[in-house]
Amino acid sequence: MRRQWLFAIVASAALAASGCSYDATDSGTDADNVTVMPTSLSPPAAADAVLLKTADSPLGTIAVDGEGMTVYIYDPDEEHPTGDSCDESCLRHWPAVTSVTDSPVTEGINAALGTVPGPDGSFQVTVNGKPVYRYLDDEVPGDMLGQAVGSLWFMIDEFGNPVFTTE
């Protein structure tokens, strides 16, 4: 019986500690100890800049941003969301693709393009009603490191359909 209680106490302590992690890049508070909400980490594209276009990849033609970086959808996101299912900790790794206008410019995208209010007051771009994101670990155009992460994140093709393959 004592072993069960000891195990329960140790497991509870481990779970509590795992929820607390130190992030050296963002303490989450400012000098006045006021909580600071993170932004999308992706500055909005200029009104006349091409925001989304197509690129060839080993998995076919995909959507990329104006700099050629792969864009992704988050499977749990609903079409035409009223809120963002990618919360603030999610947005640190998956910055939203944003625009300064609600009519972003695209090239080669044959899907319904729109926007929803972004996490930082800008317009978050949607393709076929689903918000699109970049992946922080994609460092250069052509990187596709976010593909199928957690079986929740997927690149999209030029028609806005998720690309489920990884090879």
In this structure, are residues 93 and 81 in contact, taking their beta carbons and an 8 Å threshold? no
Is residue 16's pLDDT more than 60?
A: no
Residue 71: which of 124, 122, 146 has the closest Cα?
146
pLDDT score for 12:
40
Mean pLDDT of 102-116: 93
Give tens-digit pLDDT for 44-92.
Answer: 555 567 899 999 999 999 999 999 999 999 999 988 777 668 888 999 9
Quote the DSSP letter at residue 151: G
Is residue 7's pLDDT more than 70?
A: no
User: What is the H or E stretch that residue 6 is in?
Assistant: helix 2-18
Domain residue ranges of the chain, discontinuous segments joined by +: 50-155
Token digits of residue 122: 């800008």
